[in-house]
Amino acid sequence: MALDNRPGATTEGVSPERARVRRVGRFLRLSPLDRLALLRAGVLVISVRAALSIVPFRHVLRAADRFASRLAARRGGPEERERMLRAVETAGRHLLPAGPCLSQAIVSDVLLRRRGWPSQLYIGVARGPDGSLRAHAWVESDGEVVVGGTESPRDFVPLPDPRRAP
């Protein structure tokens, strides 16, 4: 799935209408499996973002846990895992350009667990250069950061697991 990672795929200096046409063209050139993964990820990322804006965080996590455990599908291969994670990252970047990390992390965590892969959602905080408090979310699976940037555990102090809080 190479929506933005291919040479010449930039939309800088292009009208918004032309940029949309290019994105649609790239989407249509994806394989059917990549299109399905991207559509599924897009629906979930938007749903999680909407839920986070109207219900308490703990309720969103509870619903995500129920969704992850319900009808757990067979475990796919590494290519399926990578396709799914790329789709979530791409959907978040295009549909939620301002701060997609929490929605992407929740969706990735759910989809990984639903497919039987180990997954741990982290939310961390750090002080910015100006002293402000910054927050970030990431997901680790099999001992590696798979969503949110490999530098996240180094740059942010993880908060206690919100699922285990009283």
- State the pLDDT confidence band at 94, using cuts at 50, 70 and 90: confident
Q: Could you give the number of structural domains in the chain?
A: 1
Q: Report if residue 8 sits inside a domain.
A: no
State residue 73's pLDDT score. Answer: 64
User: Across all residues in the chain, what is the average pLDDT?
Assistant: 84
pTM value is 0.81
State residue 26's pLDDT score. Answer: 80
Which structural domain, as residue segments, surrounds residue 91?
33-158
Residue 47: is its pLDDT beyond 90?
yes
Q: Report if residue 164 sits inside a domain.
A: no
Q: Report if residue 95 sits inside a domain.
A: yes
Q: Is the distance from CB of 152 to CB of 139 less than 8 angstroms? A: no
As a whole number of angstroms, the distance between CA 17 and CA 85 comes to 28
Interval 106-119 mean pLDDT: 91
CB atoms within 10 A of CB 58: 11
Residues 118-155 pLDDT 10s: 899 999 999 988 989 999 999 999 889 999 988 889 99
Q: 116 or 9: whose pLDDT is higher?
A: 116
Residue 165: is its pLDDT beyond 70?
no
State residue 74's pLDDT score. Answer: 65
Q: Report if residue 5 sits inside a domain.
A: no
Q: Report if residue 7 sits inside a domain.
A: no
98-136 residues labelled b (16+ CB within 10 A) or e (exposed)? eebbbbbbbbbbbbbbbbebebebbbbeeeeeeeeeeeb
Q: 21 or 147: whose pLDDT is higher?
A: 147
Residue 11: is its pLDDT beyond 90?
no
Q: Report if residue 137 sits inside a domain.
A: yes
Interval 52-62 mean pLDDT: 93
State residue 4's pLDDT score. Answer: 45
Q: Report if residue 131 sits inside a domain.
A: yes
As a whole number of angstroms, the distance between CA 156 and CA 135 comes to 8
Q: Report if residue 109 sits inside a domain.
A: yes
